[in-house]
Amino acid sequence: MSHSSQKSVIVIGAGFGGLSAAALLAKDGHRVTVLEKNSQPGGRAGQIKRDGFTFDMGPSWYMMPEVFDRFFAEFGKKPSDYYSIQPLHPQYRVVFGDGTHADITGDQKEDEALFESYEKGAAKKLRQYLREGELKYRIAMDSILYRNMDSIFDLANNWELIKNSPHVGVLEPMHRYVKKFFSHHKLQQIIEYNLVFLGCSPQNAPALFSMMGYVDMGLGVWYPEGGLFGVVKAMEQVAQEQGVEFVYNSPVTSLEVEDGRIHTVHCGDTKYTADYVVSNADYVHTEDLLSEQSLRTIPRKHWQKKTLTPSAFLLYLGVKGKLPKLQHHTLYFGTDWQKHFADVFDHPRWPQEPSVYINKTSATDPSVAPKGHENLMVLVPIAPGLEENDMWREHYANFILDFLEAKLDIKLKENIVVKEIFSITDFAERYNSYAGNALGGLAHTFFQSAIWRPANKSKKVANLLFSGANTVPGIGVPTSVISGHLVRDRLRM
Ligand X SMILES: Cc1cc2nc3c(=O)[nH]c(=O)nc-3n(C[C@H](O)[C@H](O)[C@H](O)COP(=O)(O)OP(=O)(O)OC[C@H]3O[C@@H](n4cnc5c(N)ncnc54)[C@H](O)[C@@H]3O)c2cc1C
Stretch that binds ligand X, among 109-117, 204-212, 292-300, 474-482 (CB under 6 A): 474-482
**Residue 454 in contact with ligand X, rule: CB under 6 A:** no
Stretch that binds ligand X, among 37-45, 214-222, 318-326, 404-412 (CB under 6 A): 37-45
Coil, strand or helix: which one is 44?
A: helix
The CA distance from 473 to 479, in Å, is 6
**Residue 254 in contact with ligand X, rule: CB under 6 A:** no
Stretch that binds ligand X, among 55-63, 69-77, 401-409, 448-456 (CB under 6 A): 55-63
Q: Between 37 and 328, whose beta carbon lies closer to ligand X? A: 37
**Residue 79 in contact with ligand X, rule: CB under 6 A:** no
Q: Between 123 and 298, whose beta carbon lies closer to ligand X? A: 298
**Residue 139 in contact with ligand X, rule: CB under 6 A:** no
Query: Within 299-338, which residues bind ligand X (CB under 6 A)?
Result: 312, 314
The CA distance from 443 to 379, in Å, is 18
Interhelix angle 185-192/174-181, nearest 10 degrees: 130
Q: Between 318 and 436, whose beta carbon lies closer to ligand X? A: 436
Smallest gap from Cβ 119 to ligand X, in A, equals: 28
- Residue closest to 52 by CA, chosen among 348, 374, 282: 374
Does 473 sit behind a cis peptide bond, omega within 30 degrees of 0 on the bond before it?
A: yes
Query: For residue 389, how many other CB atoms are within 10 A of its CB?
Result: 9
- Residue closest to 48 by CA, chosen among 320, 381, 422, 396: 422
Stretch that binds ligand X, among 100-108, 296-304, 431-439, 445-453 (CB under 6 A): 431-439
**Residue 285 in contact with ligand X, rule: CB under 6 A:** yes
Q: What are residue 173's DSSP bridge partners?
A: 206
Stretch that binds ligand X, among 12-20, 68-76, 394-402, 445-453 (CB under 6 A): 12-20
**Residue 468 in contact with ligand X, rule: CB under 6 A:** yes
User: Which amino acid, one-letter code, is at 485?
Assistant: H
**Residue 376 in contact with ligand X, rule: CB under 6 A:** no
Q: Between 285 and 444, whose beta carbon lies closer to ligand X? A: 285
**What does the buried/exposed string (b/e) look like for 67-97 if buried means 16 or more CB atoms within 10 Å of the residue's CB?**
bbebbbebbebebeebbebeebebbbbbbbb
Smallest gap from Cβ 159 to ligand X, in A, equals: 29
Q: Between 140 and 161, whose beta carbon lies closer to ligand X? A: 140
The CA distance from 459 to 155, in Å, is 19
Does 454 sit behind a cis peptide bond, omega within 30 degrees of 0 on the bond before it?
A: no
Stretch that binds ligand X, among 7-15, 80-88, 405-413, 454-462 (CB under 6 A): 7-15
Could you say which of 43, 106, 318, 351 contacts ligand X (CB under 6 A)? 43
Q: Between 86 and 157, whose beta carbon lies closer to ligand X? A: 86
414 Cβ contact partners less than 8 Å away, ≥ 6 residues apart: none
Coil, strand or helix: which one is 414?
A: helix
Stretch that binds ligand X, among 35-43, 160-168, 215-223, 450-458 (CB under 6 A): 35-43
Burial class for 387, CB neighbours closer than 10 Å (0-12, 13-18, 19+): exposed
**Residue 439 in contact with ligand X, rule: CB under 6 A:** yes
- Judged by CB under 6 A, the number of residues near ligand X is 39
Smallest gap from Cβ 338 to ligand X, in A, equals: 22
What is the gyration radius of the CA atoms in the chain, in angstroms? 22
Q: How far is CA 316 from CA 53, 83, 207, 347, in A?
A: 10, 24, 34, 27
Could you say which of 9, 10, 11, 14 contacts ligand X (CB under 6 A)? 14
DSSP 143: I
Q: Between 93 and 125, whose beta carbon lies closer to ligand X? A: 93
Strand ranges for 327-372 from DSSP E: 329-333, 356-359
159 Cβ contact partners less than 8 Å away, ≥ 6 residues apart: none
Could you say which of 26, 58, 140, 373 contacts ligand X (CB under 6 A)? 58
Smallest gap from Cβ 484 to ligand X, in A, equals: 8
Residue 49, H or E segment = strand 47-50
**Residue 106 in contact with ligand X, rule: CB under 6 A:** no
**Residue 16 in contact with ligand X, rule: CB under 6 A:** yes
The CA distance from 412 to 198, in Å, is 30
Q: Between 242 and 250, whose beta carbon lies closer to ligand X? A: 250
Stretch that binds ligand X, among 77-85, 123-131, 218-226, 430-438 (CB under 6 A): 430-438
Give residues in contact with ligand X (CB under 6 A): 12-18, 35-38, 43-45, 58-61, 197, 251-252, 280-281, 285, 312, 314, 379, 431-432, 438-440, 468-469, 475-478, 480
